[in-house]
Structure 1
């Protein structure tokens, strides 16, 4: 199956979940500045259910269609991370009368709670470093396409830091982290929210077996991963 057909199937499946949860919604596929990403929105001004009620219906719909789902709430915004083997993954954000989605077709990626090995041979020298560098830089680009990266830092004790930022970026930290989370979820990472209550910064705990675990922080127009390589 071609990448185009995979993407079309991914969009069709996500759209079906949106309309199952909000039957009166008008769904529109949006332009995305992120390469290979899919963005769409469904809106029904007559639907006056709370975000919690819509999210419950959406979660039921995605699970019934075979997706894995993880729910979280940040700053009053209800979010639902999803992934499905052979399709990909992404993040729904839900408000009254509206459902938005950003995600990436996965072409065989694993479920969000699973922990598959990275594609490079984990036994080869430097494989975890290459994997965490490539996947974190990919997540940062998915959120901020024009981000610049300083040199990745790898410590002798396994510590790692990968960062990128765009001084002109105007997205909120919430938006940046949601897009990066969607990319990582689609690439087999387990992502869990880890909110900072006393700051506008946002972060998530991320981990993938055979690669790394740590925290992905969104602040000041950029994203930084700080963690440790897998043993």
Structure 2
């Protein structure tokens, strides 16, 4: 039996709030944390490998997985389907491995309503201000101005779901937010329901107590 049951860690935020950076730092802090590999119907890009960046499948196979209940969450984005296969996550959690999800509030909601909801730890990242969020999107130089504008328009819809998460962190200082994130994960790992071996420890203590009392 695993020493503890793994966590299904959901990290969400509007674009530019630091989600990807903090996800990377969390895995650098503890390399045993596994990043969830999504399934997708889009074509592989040069250098991508099936099972590493994504599980690549066709639309028929993807929809079959959804109908069979083999997807924890799924969405249709820009003409392609994306989703999180259930079985690899379920296997990891059972073996005591934590799995990290970098997904939006809609995916988070689907997972919270899934059969693995008891293993979920959900964390939402807020920017310190809208102006700072806009500055970060521009400074990272990953998107053209139109894309930045679209991301900004979506940001409030994403932020408005902050209160459906277990924890909410204002990412005003990256290093401090990282420390708070690690503290949350450490504490959640120690919660009683995540430690299946505690029952055996208590039973052993009870036997020792009864023998001593005699």
Relative to the length of structure 2, the TM-score reads: 0.30
Which structure's residues are more often strand, by fraction?
1
Q: Is the radius of gyration larger for structure 1 or structure 2?
A: 2
- Normalising to structure 1: TM-score of the pair? 0.28
The structure richer in helix per residue is: 2
